[in-house]
Amino acid sequence: MIIGNNLSANSSMRLLADSSRKLAKSLQRLSSGSKIVSPDDDAAGLAQSIKLDALTHRIDASLQNASNLISYMQTQDGFLQKVTKALDRMSEISVLSRDTTKTASDVSNYQMEFTKLNDFINDTLDVKFNGVNLFAQKTLTPVVDGQGGTFSLAGANLANAVGGGNGNFTIELKFLDDNLTEDQKNTLYAAKNRWQSIVTADLSAATVGGVAIDDLLINVQTINVDGVNGALATGSADNYRAGGSGDSTTSKGTITIDAADLSSMEANGSLFAVYLHELGHVLGIGTLWNNTAGPNNVTDGGLFYTGTNGVAQANQIFGTTSVSFALEDGGGVGTERVHPEDDVFGNEVMTGFLDAPGTPYPLSKVSVGFLQDMGYSVDYTEADPYSGPGTGSGPRQGLGMSNLGSITGTIQQVANLRAVVGANLTRVTSINDQLQTEKENIVQSSSRIKDVDVAEESTQFARSSILVQSGTTMLAQANLLPNSVLRLLG
């Protein structure tokens, strides 16, 4: 028997400490719900669970994005339904206005309703969802998983669908930079569609620089040209079809917009007219008049226009019988000789000087005649009302009441857009369901690693609790053993 070291007490104390640690660990796990309360519990499992938890959070973010995108597209479809209803009524009005029993006053009333419906559609082009244009051209690229993967969805460009003509003549816009806002792009699409509604026949295919072109390809760039209040924009016909006398049409052109004037044009309401004007130049107005490979519709050093159809329309408007009319003789290079004379035609959209904001800039039958003189097939009913300087209305954006074919074509285009939105909704809804399933499985995997099994841990807790109580009692008994030595010492 020894008294220097109480080996039994030391052993009991060690076992009691071990039981106490296990009891404390069980308490922590049961109170936290996690079986990894310290890195040393399961180092590898902890690392794996951290990655799985982060993935779960990213999936949650993707789910939120998908939900927002579903709301975005549902809003798109809601507006498209309203646009379809407006177009239905516009097509009805177009037919009703042709009734020979209707008076001029009746037709005027129909025109007023038609214009208001057209304005509603034009306003819809710029509707936004949380600041994002609903009907922009850009492709949607939603995130499809927790790894940041994306896929592409076609945008629903309403501006490119409204009043696009008969579908035979098409203008393709290629943006060389991203300096235009979606609203500014939509305005350009609307201007492009206006010319498409005027030209009625397809052109021969062309190839420029190895690129196949259906009718007309236009490169669009927005750069700083000459500062504020200089040249607002320029349009050029870079390549053309040389079909002989009376046939010279553009295959490829360029529009350059002065970035310094862009915001002011948008603010004062002249941007649409400027776009129309430059698109007219790309089509050949002013730029192909002196083309010796095609028509030569100017005379006297380029100061007078002699094209048959343009002159005929001017004579009808002014009540004259001239064989020519004056072209601009001032303004320098880029203005003179390539525009109708401003002193004669005033606010017509193809003159060389922009009138004060708020002035109508009608696209008259004279400008339509310019195109016919170059070999385009045209629809004069698409021109704006105009009877001389300071008169007329426009430029009209969107549909004309007399062009039923354009209205019905737009109905089909909007129907196609609704189909696109519906397909997009189906795709995103499927992605949303897929993300939900992925999240469920990832959470299950993480749970198996770190979530405590309460039944198992409760059993461990009860065992550890009993051992702590038993160990405490045995340690007390072990501490009493040295007292037996006193009996030997008497």
The count of structural domains within the chain is 1
| Mean pLDDT of the chain, nearest integer | 88
Whether residue 269 is contained in a domain is answered as yes
pLDDT exceeding 90 applies to what percent of the chain? 52
Higher pLDDT, 18 or 111: 111
Whether residue 74 is contained in a domain is answered as no
Whether residue 307 is contained in a domain is answered as yes
Confidence of residue 386 (pLDDT cuts 50, 70, 90): very high
Q: What Rg value do the Cα atoms of the chain yield, rounded?
A: 39
Confidence of residue 144 (pLDDT cuts 50, 70, 90): confident
Tokens 């196609």 found at: 416
| pLDDT score, position 452 | 73
Of 151, 94, 154, the closest CA to residue 118 belongs to: 94
Q: Read off the pLDDT of each residue in 72-85 and give the average, rounded to a whole number.
A: 95
Q: How far apart are CA 278 and CA 285, in angstroms?
A: 9
Per-residue pLDDT tens over the stretch 211-232: 999 999 999 999 988 888 778 8
Cβ-contact 145, 190 below 8 angstroms: no
Structure tokens at 314: 């001017």
When mean pLDDT is compared across 151-155, 186-190, 267-271, 416-420, the lowest value belongs to 151-155
Higher pLDDT, 5 or 68: 68
Whether residue 389 is contained in a domain is answered as yes
Evaluate if residue 479 carries a pLDDT over 70.
Answer: yes
Evaluate if residue 40 carries a pLDDT over 80.
Answer: no
The count of other CB atoms within 10 Å of the CB of residue 155 is 21
| pLDDT score, position 41 | 67
Q: How far apart are CA 119 and CA 126, in angstroms?
A: 12
Evaluate if residue 450 carries a pLDDT over 80.
Answer: no
Whether residue 345 is contained in a domain is answered as yes
When mean pLDDT is compared across 190-194, 195-199, 264-268, 401-405, the lowest value belongs to 401-405
Confidence of residue 453 (pLDDT cuts 50, 70, 90): low
Those residues whose C-beta lies under 8 Å from the C-beta of residue 292, and which sit 6 or more positions away, are none
Cβ-contact 152, 139 below 8 angstroms: yes
- Crossing angle of the two packed helices 104-124 and 43-96, in degrees rounded to 10: 170
Q: What spatial distance separates the first Cα and last Cα of the chain, rounded to whole Å?
A: 15
Q: What is the CATH number of the domain that holds 210?
A: 3.90.132.10
Evaluate if residue 139 carries a pLDDT over 90.
Answer: no
Q: How far apart are CA 434 and CA 299, in angstroms?
A: 70
Q: Read off the pLDDT of each residue in 173-177 and give the average, rounded to a whole number.
A: 94
Tokens 């776009």 found at: 275
**Amino acid (one-letter) located at 372:** Q
Whether residue 103 is contained in a domain is answered as no
- Going by DSSP bridges, is the β-strand pair 211-213/171-175 parallel, antiparallel, or unpaired? unpaired
Evaluate if residue 343 carries a pLDDT over 90.
Answer: yes
Whether residue 440 is contained in a domain is answered as no
DSSP symbols for 428-481:
HHHHHHHHHHHHHHHHHHHHHHHB--HHHHHHHHHHHHHHHHHHHHHHHHHHHG
Q: How far apart are CA 373 and CA 381, in angstroms?
A: 17
Out of 164-168, 330-334, 362-366, give the one with best mean pLDDT.
362-366
Evaluate if residue 189 carries a pLDDT over 70.
Answer: yes
DSSP symbols for 54-94:
HHHHHHHHHHHHHHHHHHHHHHHHHHHHHHHHHHHHHHHHH
Confidence of residue 5 (pLDDT cuts 50, 70, 90): confident
Q: What Å distances lie between residue 308 and 112, 144, 330, 369, 451, CA to CA?
A: 34, 59, 24, 8, 87
Q: What's the domain range around 281?
A: 167-397
SS3 (DSSP) at 240 = strand
pTM of the predicted model, to two decimals?
0.79
Whether residue 455 is contained in a domain is answered as no
- Going by DSSP bridges, is the β-strand pair 298-299/304-305 parallel, antiparallel, or unpaired? antiparallel
| pLDDT score, position 356 | 87
> Dihedral of CA 341/345/351/355: which sign?
positive
